[in-house]
Amino acid sequence: MTLSETQTLGFSSTVQKTFLEEGAALRTAGYDPDAMQRNLKQLHDEVVTLGADQEDLKRQLKDKTKQLNDGLKRLYNLTSGGVDALMTAVEKSSPAAKNIRRLRSRIRRSDYVESPTVQPVPMKTG
């Protein structure tokens, strides 16, 4: 059975506490409850730190994604404005303007050529 992060951390905390509460029984059985508790606590603390680091990275990724999307919008708008300026500079009705206008339409076209839809072969009846 796989436990969630919260369940695993809770389980670890409970066992650490139990190591200390049942120290005498563990010692009688030949174990060192203090060392067991220390080792478990050390790994527990490492996992808690890793979890906090992961959450921080998630926040950073969300922020970077927003920055990237905002940058892409600004870049498109500035580039599109450049196309408008180019068409104006070469006169909107000129052959050069027609070629420049195609720059914008080319980005929306896919270079992928779709193959015709294959129709299933009709089944014989009768």
Q: Which two tokens stand for residue 65?
A: 């994604």
Look at residue 41 in the predicted model and tell me its pLDDT: 98
List of E strands, the chain: none
d(CA 77, CA 75): 5
Identify the pLDDT of residue 112: 43
Task: Return the axis-axis angle of helices 5-21 and 33-89, rounded to nearest 10°.
Answer: 160
Of 107, 85, 108, 109, the closest CA to residue 97 belongs to: 85
Which has more confidence, 82 or 108? 82
Structure tokens at 100: 């420049």
For residues 104 and 102, give the distance between their C-alpha atoms in angstroms, rounded to a whole number. Answer: 5
Give the per-residue pLDDT at 120. Answer: 60
| pLDDT given at position 98 | 87
Of 125 and 83, the one with more pLDDT? 83
Q: How far is CA 44 from CA 26, 58, 80, in A?
A: 21, 21, 54
Q: Find the largest Cα–Cα distance for the chain.
A: 96
Domain boundaries, the chain: 7-106
Q: Which pTM value belongs to this model? A: 0.62
Percentages (nearest 5) of helix, strand, coil residues in the chain: 75, 0, 25
- Coil, strand, or helix at residue 93? coil
Tokens (6 digits) for 17: 């506490």
Better-scored residue on pLDDT, 61 or 103: 61
